[in-house]
Amino acid sequence: MFPLRAASIDVGSNAIRLLVAEFLTPDAYKTIEEERVPVRLGHEVFLSGQLDAKTMDAAVGALRAFRNRIQALEVHRYRAVATSAVRESRNGRDFVERVQREADIHLEPITGSEEARLVNAAVRSRIPMESDAWVLVDLGGGSVEVSLVEDGESVWSESHTMGSVRLLEELQESGGDLKRFERLLTEYTNTLRMPKTARRGEIAGFAATGGNIETLARLGNAPSRGDGVSVLETAELRRKIKLLASLSPRQRTQKLGLRPDRADVILPAAMVYERLASLVGAKEILVPHVGLKEGVLLDLVEDLATHQAHEDRKEQEAFTGALTLGRRYQFDEPHAVHVAHLAASLFEQLEELHQLGEEDHRILTVAALLHDMGAFVSHSKHHKHSLYLISESEIPGFSPAEMLLAANVARYHRKAHPAPQHD
């Protein structure tokens, strides 16, 4: 199987990126080609709720060029994902279909929790997090994903609409008033349901990803640990915020050498990183110089190389994610775990009859763990409450369609069967 040439495409809110690499083993690769095209899909989406025609034209053109490079470089497998701009836009599905039709690329919009899972996989390839607790922050153009990793496992993750492009719009609407913008940031960060472990500062480290933090590390002359990870002191980040605030975007381009599409968003991005680092008491920020495109690539190759081990890990992640969600709604954990084990046993014993796969096993596990979660709202009709609570929640690694399926399995755990008149 190896060497294997693979590629990842990240269709973000501020740019579209391509990474092509050759893998000698599932976790060792050398970069063949890296490209970035500054297409700001998020700008119009965050104002009007949909992608505009001109920007879609530019995006399709960039993806068509990426497809040509993938073919020219004889890539064996690729995965293309889209983040907040596409998943939030009213015409996102039309865009995905157009990309398939005109660029011959299968584009997959992913949830914020799936984005966090993939970024975390990339970060763990650079920073060992096998013990203690770590906070990971990935700031894109349209959203920020904040995760808590304990003993190498992601135990909590939230996605919020605090991306750099979106926040730039907020800053511009405030007339550049930084005090007003800081109050807005406080409102945003106060909505984070961060575990007490992180809020009390009981963490081993704080890692951040995204093009803005990489640029800030360069501006702050952040030293490298020798493993490709830069260390940016939070105090130095505050000094850089003051410097950036004193310059216009044009001056940042002229004096600091920033690209125009980076110069305008870097100030609000820097303020988000600083606010989150301060929230958990981090005196330094580790910058691993990897992100979503590396995570997509590693996940793709791991899936190809070690399918069963990968499926087992995804099953465990689903189990952990469902437990975390259930605890948020004060579910009966011993009962839920017992039901999940019984359901798994029946699933495995009846495999020859139902011929369902690993994905179905994970969906059943989540449904079994959360089937009584609706009792948090009311014991009466709790199965119906479970339906909407599960369907409106996120679990890392699960698509919205998979969450909806798990929600319906939970909804019908009592006597009734699905019927046309059911909501």
Q: What is the largest CA-CA distance in the chain?
A: 69
Q: DSSP letters of 91-150?
A: THHHHHHHHHHHH---EEE--HHHHHHHHHHHHHTTS--SSSEEEEEEE-SS-EEEEEEE
Distance in Å from the first CA to the final CA of the chain: 48
Q: pLDDT tens across 46-81, in order?
A: 999 999 999 999 999 999 999 999 999 999 999 999
Quote the mean pLDDT of the chain. Answer: 93
In this prediction, residues 78-99 reach a mean pLDDT of 97
pLDDT attached to residue 308? 58
Give the model's pLDDT for residue 383.
87
In the CATH scheme, what is the code of domain 4-110? 3.30.420.40
User: Would the pLDDT of 365 be above 90?
Assistant: yes
Alpha carbons 234 and 277: distance in angstroms, whole number:
7
pLDDT in tens, 304-332: 887 656 677 778 888 899 999 999 999 99
Q: Where are the domains positioned within the chain? A: 4-110, 126-289, 306-411
pLDDT at 358 over 80: yes
Split at pLDDT 50, 70, 90, the class of 13 is: very high
Q: Are 393 and 325 in contact (CB under 8 A)?
A: yes
Strand order of the β-sheet with 144-150 is 153-160, 144-150, 133-139, 205-209, 284-287, 230-233
For residues 367-390, give the mean pLDDT: 92
- Of 162, 165, 183, 187, nearest to 174 (Cα)? 183
User: Helices 292-305 and 307-328 sit at what angle, rounded to 10 degrees?
Assistant: 120
Q: What's the confidence (pLDDT) of residue 305? A: 80
**Angstrom distance (rounded) from CA 113 to CA 119:** 10
Token digits of residue 343 = 């359901």
Local confidence band at 238 (pLDDT 50, 70, 90 cut-offs): very high
Upper half-sphere CA count for residue 30 (Cβ side, 13 Å) = 4
Q: List C-alpha distances in Å: 53 to 44, 56, 80, 92, 170.
A: 10, 5, 21, 12, 23
- In angstroms, what CA-CA distances link 246 with 53, 172, 338? 35, 15, 59
Specify whether domain 306-411 bears CATH 1.10.3210.10.
yes
For residue range 135-189, what is the model confidence (pLDDT) as tens digits?
999 999 999 999 999 988 888 999 888 899 999 988 888 888 889 889 989 888 8
Answer whether 126-289 and 306-411 agree in fold: no
**CATH classification code of 126-289:** 3.30.420.150
What is the reported pLDDT for 310? 67
- The number of helix segments (H) and strand segments (E) in the chain equals 20, 11
Residue in this structure with the two tokens 């994970």, named with its chain if needed: 362
At residue 286, does pLDDT exceed 70? Answer: yes
> Rounded to 5 degrees, what are φ and ψ at 182?
-65, -35
